[in-house]
Amino acid sequence: MRRKISLVGTLAAVVAVVVAVQVWAYPESARQTKTGCATCHANPAGGEKLTVAGTEYKADHAKVLAAAAAAAEYVGGNKCKMCHIKEYKSWQESAHANAFGNLAKADAKAIAAVATALKVELKGAASKSDACVVCHVTGFHLPGGYPQADSAKTAAVASVSCEACHGPGSLHVKAAKEDKKKMIARAVSSSMCIQCHTTATSPKFESVDYMKRGVHAVPAAE
């Protein structure tokens, strides 16, 4: 009898941990801890390899962390255009490039349907409601991300731009050519996509098909 109860307890704990990692991983961890990605990630734009602090945080989300000195900020997709024109043009043709515009012009019925699926009650325009805006922009409430005081800067981080997938790019933009790779996250896995493509917002999400349609063309490795 006792054994059974403790097994149930263990299972519940395992489930809680799995859920916590999903919720805390990206980029909610940065919003909640109010520290740059570089505190927990070896690459200041995020990515697989964690720092010592990141590993400690993974084991214990209540851990108080000392912020890393070199933190990258979101700069907006315009800043990527001059060096990555092919990816930029291809991205412009994807649904992500219009994610904010489509939210702003969505009809009342479509808005109500998503609000119901998300179990939220909107008090004003969807494009002004944090509950909606969070996934239709880049770097929501993170340094350099959406929104900004300056309207041109805000426009550059509206919609799902480059840095929504590759992480904040200020250090990558500034870095010398030989250091650029260390300052941006190249690998974008489907576990990144499902931070926004949840079962409520994107019930048809299927990794292979969505990767094919949702990611800009990637030229064959030179």
Sites for ligand HEC among residues 60-119 (CB under 6 A): 65, 75, 77, 79-80, 82-84, 87-88, 91, 95-96, 98-99, 102-103, 106, 110-111, 114-115, 118
Does 148 help bind ligand HEC (rule: CB under 6 A)? Answer: no
Distances in Å between the Cα of 50 and the Cα atoms of 77, 111, 209 are 26, 38, 29
Give the residue carrying structure tokens 């917002």: 201
Neighbours of 57 (CB within 10 A): 21
Shortest distance, position 10 Cβ to ligand HEC, whole Å: 20
Does 160 help bind ligand HEC (rule: CB under 6 A)? Answer: yes
Could you tell me which stretch among 9-17, 148-156, 199-207 binds ligand HEC (CB under 6 A)? 199-207
Residues 6+ apart with CB under 8 A from 30: 36, 37, 142
Which residues between 119 and 138 bind ligand HEC (CB under 6 A)?
Answer: 120, 122, 126, 131-132, 134-136
Q: Per-residue contact track with ligand HEC, 4 to 43, x per CB under 6 A?
A: -----------------x---xxx-xx--x-x-x-xxx--
Identify which of 73, 71, 91 has the alpha carbon closest to the alpha carbon of residue 81. Answer: 91
Residues 6+ apart with CB under 8 A from 161: 76, 77, 91, 96, 97, 138
Candidates 1, 10, 12, 142: give the one binding ligand HEC (CB under 6 A). 142
